[in-house]
């Protein structure tokens, strides 16, 4: 079995904390506070964008830690990982390195909504992230706790009331100055941990919360609107005490698919991958939840928790009488623990043990670490620009769970984007935005800054109106060139590789389009494939490839001279061919929308009853603002490009 070791990290990391004496004498372009998924991507991206960057985090050993589930990706989240990778971020490559079980979710649906996912070895994931940061140019890492922000009056020539120019370290550690700052405090801002009837200050089990001064400054000095959210994690179970014969085994994909565009293979071999196991709750689980309600203070709090990842207590309360899935997931190659996904809980530890023993396979199970809940402050993200800078405060960027999201991928995506922009502004370059039409990162940020959050936000493919164009397989074609040419966060080598792939895909599609045969001749060429068109229909190779049963390999066997050179891209070419007509339509729609910016919107339109597909929220915004032109409507916060296309079609139809 694989366990390739990374270069010895921890010795090297320990030397980072020795830099304390140096950092005090220095001024940085960017300071990133927090070494979670947002902070690590932010620090790496700011450095890649050319900024001299300092990452300050409470504990160097927890940089890149997976606080909750040992897994990455999934439906919607996998799209974010691919986009982070296309912009040269860390997460995709770390997943390929640390994965122990790879699968593509949603395979029965179209490739646009497939969800690349992997179970991870926690230690390997953390090691990879730490190793990458250590070898990142222009990046210094400091162990320490940020006690407060240094705030002054704003520069009069720029928007904003305040300016952040540095941080003060706790325990008399002194001040460090910077031009820009990215705060990524995760679940640590005024964090409280809950287990049973008790609560105590903390950001994660074993870690203290952020210093109180930070929350105070955000709220009282900068005047930001702050909310409170909660989440929870399941107990970890000792593997040897589980009876797997009472569970259903789930095997990984036969051929693991890498997250990263620059990896041809993942780090582990197919045959070495570890399985997961499925079991279900029973009525006994419901009984224990009900019996423990009076000693479970977390469940009685008003704060909103993650709707799509609820605790077992919430599930029992919302759906009494229903049985729920419990996935038993390995925590690593050599870990003796299993993570029971679906069993997040906050009752007292003795009741947690009673509960899990009501589940088939877990009758004799032992708990290694009990589950617990966490409540934390977040900053209402409508106070941010689309480049994740706080509108009222020059130099201050926020990313990750502090903006009301949940999940590693959502945090990392924001971190990368805040890091790029903090780096750019520190170097006096203009900040950039990503549109909803270009990426899921754009969708995520647009949703946050335009609509805000009322509960922890997680990504789904249904949040994107342009699903057929924004696919996991083409994230590099959508973003890598921009990452190099505009954002400066993509290396020359990755850019060159993406250009080569793009050229090969274009050549392959041209070659397919150059083949043109009647349906009868196609039927002769591709026996066993049901080409249902009439005899006289002429079909190109690209059109034939859109048939479900036709693979690129089949066409390459039929036309080896023309197509065999592109065999290594078979799957990508198939997906491109499949979605080409939809994407072309979307591209034309977007171009039409841009060309019709000045289209006049009649002032007597009744937006509330307009017979087109608009959400209630969009109707209300249009009704209350009554924009004069399509362009003005498109710039309103909360108005999606899809809504603009519907509006454009309606106005042109009614002319």
| Distance in Å, CB of 187 to ligand FAD, minimum | 4
Q: What are phi and psi of 569, to 5 degrees?
A: -105, 20
Q: Are 176 and 26 in contact (CB under 8 A)?
A: yes
Distances (CA, A) of 378 to 190, 230, 290, 403, 556: 9, 10, 30, 6, 54
Residue 559 neighbours by CB distance under 10 Å: 16
**Contact pattern from residue 309 through residue 328 relative to ligand FAD, giving x for each residue in contact according to CB under 6 A and a dash for the rest:** x-------------------
- Provide, rounded to whole angstroms, the least separation between the CB of residue 278 and ligand FAD: 18
Residue 140 within binding range of ligand FAD, rule CB under 6 A: no
Nearer to ligand FAD, 342 or 638 (CB): 342
Task: Report the residue number, 67 or 469, with the smaller CB distance to ligand FAD.
Answer: 67
Nearest CA to 319 among 360, 270, 285? 285
Query: What is the footprint of ligand FAD within residues 217-236 (CB under 6 A)?
Result: 231-233
State the minimum distance, in angstroms, from the CB of residue 183 to ligand FAD: 8
Is 119 among the residues that bind ligand FAD (CB under 6 A)? no
Residue of the chain from 53, 58, 190, 281 that contacts ligand FAD (CB under 6 A): 58
In this structure, how many other beta carbons lie within 10 angstroms of the beta carbon of residue 596?
18
* Min dist. Cβ of residue 530 to ligand FAD (A): 44
Given 16, 30, 33, 577, the residue binding ligand FAD (CB under 6 A): 33
Kindly state the smallest distance separating residue 202's Cβ from ligand FAD, in Å. 9
Name the DSSP class of 301: -
Count Cβ atoms within 10 A of the Cβ of residue 329 and give its class: 0-12 exposed, 13-18 middle, 19 or more buried: buried
Which of 9, 23, 29, 35 lies at the binding interface for ligand FAD (CB under 6 A)? Answer: 35
Query: How far is residue 237's CA from residue 248's CA, in Å, rounded to a whole number?
Result: 17
- d(Cα 651, Cα 630) in Å, to the nearest integer? 10
Name which position in 37, 48, 117, 494 contacts ligand FAD (CB under 6 A).
Answer: 37
Q: Which is nearer to ligand FAD, 169 or 515 (CB)?
A: 169
CA distance 348 to 344: 13
Q: How far is the CB of 207 from ligand FAD (least distance, A)?
A: 6
Provide the token pair at 437: 């039409």
Can you tell me which of 57, 217, 474, 480 binds ligand FAD, judged by CB under 6 A? 57
The full 3-state SS of 569-600, as one line of letters, equals HHHHHHHHHHHHHHHHHHHHHHHHHHHCCCCE
Other beta carbons within 10 angstroms of residue 251's beta carbon come to 11
Q: Which of 541, 431, 434 is nearest to 182 (CA)?
A: 431
Q: How far is the CB of 170 from ligand FAD (least distance, A)?
A: 8
Residue 42 C-beta: closest distance to ligand FAD, Å: 9
Rule CB under 6 A: choose which of 138, 204, 436, 478 binds ligand FAD.
Answer: 204
H helix or E strand, kind and range, residue 327: strand 325-330
Alpha-carbon gap, residue 141 to 53, rounded angstroms: 9
When the beta carbons of 173 and 541 are compared against ligand FAD, the nearer one is: 173
Question: What's the CA gap between 137 and 55, in Å, rounded?
Answer: 13
Identity of the residue, 411 or 647, whose beta carbon is nearer to ligand FAD in the bound complex:
411
Q: What is the total residue count of the chain?
A: 655
Least distance in angstroms from the C-beta of 447 to ligand FAD: 16
**Interface with ligand FAD (CB under 6 A), residue from 9, 30, 38, 45:** 38
The stretch among 205-213, 445-453, 472-480, 632-640 that binds ligand FAD (CB under 6 A) is: 205-213
- Output the smallest distance, CB 308 to ligand FAD, in A: 8
Q: Enumerate residues 346-375 that contact ligand FAD by CB under 6 A.
A: 372, 374
| Residue 161 or 300 having the CB closest to ligand FAD | 300
Name which position in 9, 29, 34, 116 contacts ligand FAD (CB under 6 A): 34
What the block records as the tokens of 158 is: 């720029």
Please state, as a whole number, how many other Cβ atoms lie within 10 Å of the Cβ of residue 241: 16
Other beta carbons within 10 Å of 507: 13
Query: Can residue 298 be called a binding residue for ligand FAD (CB under 6 A)?
Result: no
Q: Which residues, listed in sequence order, are joined to residue 227 by a DSSP beta bridge?
A: 378
Q: Contacts with ligand FAD: how many residues (CB under 6 A)? A: 40
Residue 361 tokens, joined: 């396979």
Q: Does 450 bind ligand FAD (CB under 6 A)?
A: no
Give the orientation angle of helix 10-17 with respect to helix 122-134, to 10 degrees: 50
Window contacting ligand FAD (CB under 6 A); options: 209-217, 296-304, 426-434, 490-498: 209-217
188 lies in the site for ligand FAD, by CB under 6 A: yes
Helix (H/G/I), strand (E/B), else coil: 177: strand
Closest CA to 242 of 324, 322, 309, 327: 327
User: Shortest approach of ligand FAD to residue 421 CB, angstroms?
Assistant: 17
Site for ligand FAD in 397-416 (CB under 6 A): 400-401, 406-408, 411
Q: Does 120 bind ligand FAD (CB under 6 A)?
A: no
Strand partners, 325: 280
- Least Å distance, CB 312 to ligand FAD, is 12
> Which residues, numbered 146-185, are part of the site for ligand FAD (CB under 6 A)?
146, 184-185
In the chain, the N- to C-terminal Cα span, in Å, equals 68
Contacting residues toward ligand FAD, per CB under 6 A: 33-39, 56-58, 62, 67-68, 145-146, 184-188, 203-204, 207, 210-211, 214, 231-233, 306, 309, 344, 372, 374, 400-401, 406-408, 411
């Amino acid at each position: 079995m694989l366990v390739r070791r990374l270069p010895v990290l921890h010795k090297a990391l320990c030397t980072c904390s020795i830099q304390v004496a140096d950092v005090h004498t220095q001024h940085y372009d960017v300071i990133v506070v927090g070494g979670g998924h947002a902070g690590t991507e932010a620090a790496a991206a700011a450095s890649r964008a050319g900024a001299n960057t300092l990452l300050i985090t409470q504990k160097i050993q927890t940089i890149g830690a997976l606080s909750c589930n040992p897994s990455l990706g999934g439906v919607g989240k996998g799209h974010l990982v691919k986009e982070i990778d296309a912009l040269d971020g860390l997460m995709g490559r770390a997943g390929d390195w640390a994965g122990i079980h790879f699968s593509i979710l949603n395979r029965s649906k179209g490739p646009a909504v497939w969800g690349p996912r992997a179970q991870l070895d926690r230690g390997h994931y953390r090691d990879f992230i730490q190793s990458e940061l250590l070898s990142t140019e222009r990046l210094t890492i400091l162990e320490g706790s940020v006690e407060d922000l240094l705030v002054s009056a704003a520069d009069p020539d720029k928007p904003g009331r305040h300016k952040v120019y540095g941080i003060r370290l706790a325990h008399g550690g002194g001040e460090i100055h910077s031009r820009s700052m990215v705060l990524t405090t995760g679940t640590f801002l005024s964090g409280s941990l809950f287990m049973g009837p008790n609560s105590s200050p903390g950001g994660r089990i074993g870690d203290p919360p952020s210093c109180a001064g930070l929350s105070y400054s955000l709220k009282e000095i900068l005047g930001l609107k702050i909310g409170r959210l909660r989440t929870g994690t399941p107990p970890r179970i000792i593997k040897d005490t589980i009876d797997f014969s009472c569970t259903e085994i789930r095997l990984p994909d036969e051929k693991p698919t890498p997250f990263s565009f620059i990896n041809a293979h993942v780090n582990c071999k197919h045959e070495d991958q570890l399985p997961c196991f499925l079991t279900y709750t029973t009525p006994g689980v419901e009984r224990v939840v009900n019996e423990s309600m009076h000693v479970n203070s977390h469940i009685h709090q008003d704060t909103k928790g993650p709707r799509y990842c609820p605790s077992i207590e919430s599930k029992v309360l919302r759906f009494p009488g229903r049985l729920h899935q419990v996935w038993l997931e390995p925590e690593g190659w050599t870990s003796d623990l299993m993570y029971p996904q679906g069993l997040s809980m906050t009752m007292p530890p003795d009741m947690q043990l009673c509960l899990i023993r009501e589940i088939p396979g877990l009758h004799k199970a032992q708990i290694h670490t009990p589950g617990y809940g966490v409540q934390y402050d977040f900053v209402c993200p409508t106070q941010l620009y689309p480049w994740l800078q706080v509108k009222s405060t020059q130099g201050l960027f926020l990313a990750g769970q502090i903006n009301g999201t949940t999940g590693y991928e959502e945090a990392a995506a924001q971190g990368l984007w805040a890091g790029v922009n903090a780096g750019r502004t520190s170097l006096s370059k203009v900040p950039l935005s990503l549109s909803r039409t270009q990426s899921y990162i754009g969708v995520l940020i647009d949703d946050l800054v335009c609509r805000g959050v009322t509960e922890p936000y997680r990504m789904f493919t249904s949040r994107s109106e342009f699903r057929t164009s924004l696919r996991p397989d083409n994230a590099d074609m959508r973003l890598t060139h921009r990452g190099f040419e505009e954002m400066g966060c993509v290396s020359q080598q990755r850019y060159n590789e993406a250009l080569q792939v793009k050229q090969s895909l274009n050549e392959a599609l041209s070659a397919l389009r150059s083949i043109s045969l009647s349906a009868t001749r196609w039927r002769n060429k591709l026996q066993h494939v049901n080409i249902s068109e009439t005899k006289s229909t002429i079909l190109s190779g690209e059109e034939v490839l859109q048939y479900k049963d036709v693979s690129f390999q089949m066409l390459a066997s039929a036309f080896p001279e023309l197509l065999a050179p592109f065999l290594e891209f078979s799957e990508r070419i198939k997906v491109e061919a499949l979605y080409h007509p939809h994407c072309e339509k979307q591209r034309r729609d977007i171009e039409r929308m841009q060309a019709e910016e000045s289209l006049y919107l009649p002032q007597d339109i009744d937006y509330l009853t307009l017979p087109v597909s608009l959400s209630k929220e969009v109707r209300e915004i249009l009704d209350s603002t009554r924009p004069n032109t399509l362009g003005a409507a498109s710039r309103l916060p909360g108005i999606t490009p899809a809504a603009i296309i519907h509006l454009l079609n309606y106005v042109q139809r009614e002319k």
